[in-house]
Amino acid sequence: MKIGTIDIDRPVILAPMEDVTDRAFRQLCKRYGADIVYTEFISAEALRRGIEKSVRKLTADPVERPIAVQIFGNSVESMIEAAQIAEEYSPDYLDINFGCPTKKVAGKGAGAALLREPEKMAAIAAAVVGAVNIPVTAKTRIGWDRESINIIDVLHRLEDAGIQALAVHGRTRSEMYKGRADWEWIREVKAHARIPIIANGDIWSAEDAVAMYAHTGADGVMIGRGSIGNPFIFAQARHLLKTGTPMPPPGFRERIEAAIEHLKLSVCFKGEKYGTLEMRRHYATYLKGLPMVSRVRNKLVREEQWELVIEILRAYEVECEGYQREGKIPDYAEYLNDHSDKLVLNY
């Protein structure tokens, strides 16, 4: 898949996720094999007004490359200005969010709302393409609702606007996160496309990533929720794509190690207080399915000092060694199929 100077064969990409794909999580996913990572979406209006919290989201480290910055907005003017501000941070490319279904974004005419105004969507895309010297891509859904699926029309408009790749989440805005993502529509988009298509929606395992490629013929696959608490999915998918054989699933030691790495990165970038606090929602997924986990989780989410969090995790690791000797550690694959605890937050 080619975007500007990036040229990666069948990349496995970390999806943009608000409150998830911060610097810490992006760097973690990179270490575990993500080919390309995206920032959380960033409000164009907030960038334009210099809101500190949003401007900070533009910061990334060289280890994260290739990286895309994603912006959203509802006016040509604010998107031009935001794109130029984002460009100063030298991301490898800029991505426009045309898929967010929430009230706070779509309710204000940005994100997925633009699926109902394809002319305005194309005008924003063309203006952003013209305003920066880096490649511009877009990410969207297949339509507003089942009665108005317009992704093929949207694809052609975005191609004409100069968009260099399109990520498609196989759901409509109305479907939010319900049901299964519609891979058939993604295949249809790929069949009509002149630009690279990145397929997204319900990739929960390396096998799903391979199946997504096979089903849609897409140029890239993008993983969101399936990577939360499970950064291993990137190396696993790449390995399966390359060799046709699965990698052994991570054991409890690797999973606890990943949680500790994530915590350290989080503290490094956000400081002890927020770094420790923001990690709290991730422990459930890192430790999912392990024996006697709720007791440990309760301790983890109360602890305020990160070193002590690590001590709790290390003590639990020792405890797990005992469970393993007793044959009480379940197979990872068993709980991978249960997605009920995945974060959807306010998105």
Ligand X SMILES: Cc1cc2nc3c(=O)[nH]c(=O)nc-3n(C[C@H](O)[C@H](O)[C@H](O)COP(=O)(O)O)c2cc1C
Residues that bind ligand X in the complex, under the rule CB under 6 A: 15-18, 20, 40-41, 70, 97, 99-100, 139, 169, 200-203, 223-226, 343-345, 347
Angle at 42 between CA 304 and CA 227, to 5 degrees: 60
**Closer residue to ligand X (CB): 320 or 342:** 342
- Residue 329's SS3 state is coil
Kindly report the number of other CB atoms within 10 A of residue 110's CB atom.
27
**Closer residue to ligand X (CB): 27 or 205:** 205
Cα(228)–Cα(255) distance, rounded to whole angstroms?
12
Q: How far is the CB of 288 from ligand X (least distance, A)?
A: 16
Residue with the CB atom nearest ligand X in the bound state: 224
Q: Is 289 left (phi over 0), alpha (psi -120 to 50) or beta?
A: left
**Closer residue to ligand X (CB): 23 or 139:** 139
Active-site position among 29, 100, 268, 320: 100
DSSP string covering 80-122: HHHHHHHHTT--SEEEEEE---STTTGGGT-GGGGGG-HHHHH
**Closer residue to ligand X (CB): 17 or 155:** 17
Q: Mind spelling out the 3-state secondary structure of 229-270?
A: CCCHHHHHHHHHHHHCCCCCCCCHHHHHHHHHHHHHHHHHHH
**Closer residue to ligand X (CB): 212 or 320:** 212
Q: Which residues contact 233 (CB under 8 A, 6 or more apart)?
A: 12, 32, 203, 204, 205, 206, 209, 223, 226, 227
DSSP 149: B
User: Does 100 qualify as catalytic in the annotation?
Assistant: yes
Q: How far is the CB of 224 from ligand X (least distance, A)?
A: 3
Residue 157: φ, ψ to 5°: -65, -45
Q: How far is the CB of 177 from ligand X (least distance, A)?
A: 7
Q: Is 201 left (phi over 0), alpha (psi -120 to 50) or beta?
A: left
Cα(152)–Cα(150) distance, rounded to whole angstroms?
6
Q: How far is the CB of 41 from ligand X (least distance, A)?
A: 3
Q: How far is the CB of 292 from ligand X (least distance, A)?
A: 28
Q: Token pair of 118, please?
A: 């394809």
Number of H helices, E strands in the chain: 14, 10
**Closer residue to ligand X (CB): 227 or 320:** 227
β-bridge partners, 96:
71, 138
Q: How far is the CB of 20 from ligand X (least distance, A)?
A: 5
Catalytic residues: 100
